[in-house]
């Protein structure tokens, strides 16, 4: 049987967690995480916390573990996710900006997304993102 990480919080952390748990402008996910940690600090089990908050015990365990490892920073932001790194945007960004600033299109006063994309031979979406 696995044992959940014991959560002990300082007075300063308790104040911050209570502010997050009750804040009207706090993102909902952070509000739930703060509630989970406050309940865990009171000695409640993951199963009881999950039932109270309407989530899974594994979710409570995940945030409890992250708080135990990294403190408030561990629950404040999500862990980075995978995904393909932008390669074209990095390659083309400088060229797009230079062309926009230092060249003018024929028969026009400024570039549109479509005309600049056609001039450079790239996708208009790429120009728009940059």
Residue the block writes with tokens 């015990």: 57
Question: Is the confidence at residue 1, as pLDDT, over 70?
Answer: no
Q: What is the 3-state secondary structure (H, E, C) of 109-128?
A: CCCCHHHHHHHHCCCHHHHH
Question: Is the confidence at residue 31, as pLDDT, over 80?
Answer: yes
Q: Distance of CA 83 to CAs 80, 86, 87, 89, 130, Å?
A: 10, 9, 12, 15, 19
Distance separating alpha carbons of residues 130 and 79, to the nearest angstrom: 26
Distance separating alpha carbons of residues 33 and 60, to the nearest angstrom: 8
pLDDT value at position 89? 86
pLDDT value at position 88? 86
| pLDDT tens per residue, range 34-74 | 999 999 999 999 999 999 999 999 999 999 999 999 999 99
- Boundaries of every domain in the chain: 11-76, 88-129
41 touches 64 (CB < 8 A): no
78-84: long-range contacts, CB 8 A cutoff, minimum separation 24: 78/29
Comparing 22-26, 61-65, 77-81, the range with the smallest average pLDDT is 77-81
Grade residue 81 by pLDDT with cuts at 50, 70 and 90.
confident
pLDDT value at position 107? 86
pLDDT value at position 52? 94
- 46-53 and 28-41 are packed helices; what angle lies between their axes, rounded to 10 degrees? 140
pLDDT value at position 87? 83
| pLDDT tens per residue, range 96-125 | 999 999 999 988 899 999 999 999 999 999
């Amino acid at each position: 049987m696995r044992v959940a990480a014991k959560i002990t919080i300082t007075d300063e952390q308790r104040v911050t967690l209570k502010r997050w748990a009750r804040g009207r402008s706090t993102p909902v996910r952070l509000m739930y995480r703060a509630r989970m940690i406050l309940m865990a600090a009171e000695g409640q089990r993951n199963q009881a916390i999950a039932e109270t908050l309407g989530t899974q015990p594994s979710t409570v365990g995940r945030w409890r573990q992250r708080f135990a490892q990294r403190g408030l920073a561990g629950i404040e932001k999500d862990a980075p996710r995978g995904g393909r790194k932008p390669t074209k945007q990095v390659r083309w960004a400088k060229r797009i900006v230079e062309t926009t600033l230092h060249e003018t299109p024929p028969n026009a006063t400024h570039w549109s997304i479509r005309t600049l994309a056609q001039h450079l031979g790239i996708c208009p979406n790429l120009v728009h993102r940059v």
